[in-house]
Amino acid sequence: MAQIAAERSEPAAAAVANPAPLGLAAFALTTFVLSVVNAGLVSSNGINDVLGLAFFYGGLAQLLAGMWEFRNRNTLGATAFSTYGAFWLAFGFTVWQKLLVTGPILGWFMLAWGLITLLFFLSALRTDIALMAVLFFLFLTFVVLGIAEFSGNSVITNVAGWLGIVTALLAWYRSWAGILESGQGPFRLPVGPMA
């Protein structure tokens, strides 16, 4: 009887959707739009043109996806999405308030994010090739953005923009694969599972 009472008192774990496709899609779109600017494909005011995306899709949606990953007990997903959501919120806010200047300060900022991304990449080595590719290209993007800020060379910024575009495309691919994995699509996309 005590066992039956204990079983009844424990709430059944509710099935929840996988938040990773949302987090990856939010990351991809925000990264893509800013990277198009960095690559020099459009004339723009830089990050100012994507502040709405930075705050609400790249920032808030990723932060929410990270919190939902905690519910799914996915420590890597929870930490990465929450971290990159906070990145977009912090980056958008500092640009909006004109607190982040270009040059060495921004260079160190980008290199530090490159280091964080390298740690996430190393943590993802047993996940899948698609996710590892996203993190690897994001690492390269941050490092090249940091170098561009130190050098002041717009050609290096353009290279970083193209790396960011590749990163975004890979993130969209992994996001779509995650949606299809949920059984919502007629086929699956290969992601190259490592474990």
Does residue 195 lie in a domain region?
Answer: no
User: pLDDT digit string (tens) for 138-174?
Assistant: 999 999 999 999 999 999 999 999 999 999 999 999 9
Does residue 1 lie in a domain region?
Answer: no
Model confidence at 4: pLDDT above 50: no
Q: Give the domain extent around 55.
A: 19-181
HEC assignment per residue over 138-155: HHHHHHHHHHHHHHCCHH
Does residue 191 lie in a domain region?
Answer: no
Does residue 154 lie in a domain region?
Answer: yes
Mean pLDDT of all residues in 90-109: 82
Does residue 171 lie in a domain region?
Answer: yes
Position with higher pLDDT, 54 vs 46: 54
User: pLDDT digit string (tens) for 8-51?
Assistant: 444 555 667 999 999 999 999 999 999 999 999 998 776 677 88
Does residue 136 lie in a domain region?
Answer: yes
Q: Specify the CATH number for the domain of residue 105.
A: 1.25.40
Model confidence at 188: pLDDT above 50: yes
User: pLDDT digit string (tens) for 111-128?
Assistant: 999 999 999 999 999 999
- Number of structural domains in the chain: 1
Does residue 3 lie in a domain region?
Answer: no
C-alpha 75/C-alpha 44 separation (Å) is: 37
**Predicted pLDDT at 51:** 87
**Predicted pLDDT at 1:** 40
Does residue 64 lie in a domain region?
Answer: yes
C-alpha 126/C-alpha 118 separation (Å) is: 14
Model confidence at 90: pLDDT above 50: yes
Q: Is 94 helix (H, G, I), strand (E, B) or coil?
A: helix
Asked if 137 and 180 touch (Cβ cutoff 8 Å), the reply is no
**Comparing C-alpha atoms, which of 69, 26, 17, 33 is closest to residue 178?**
17
Q: For the CA atoms of 8, 10, 15, 20, what is the dihedral angle to 10 degrees?
A: 180
**Predicted pLDDT at 101:** 66
Asked if 111 and 143 touch (Cβ cutoff 8 Å), the reply is yes
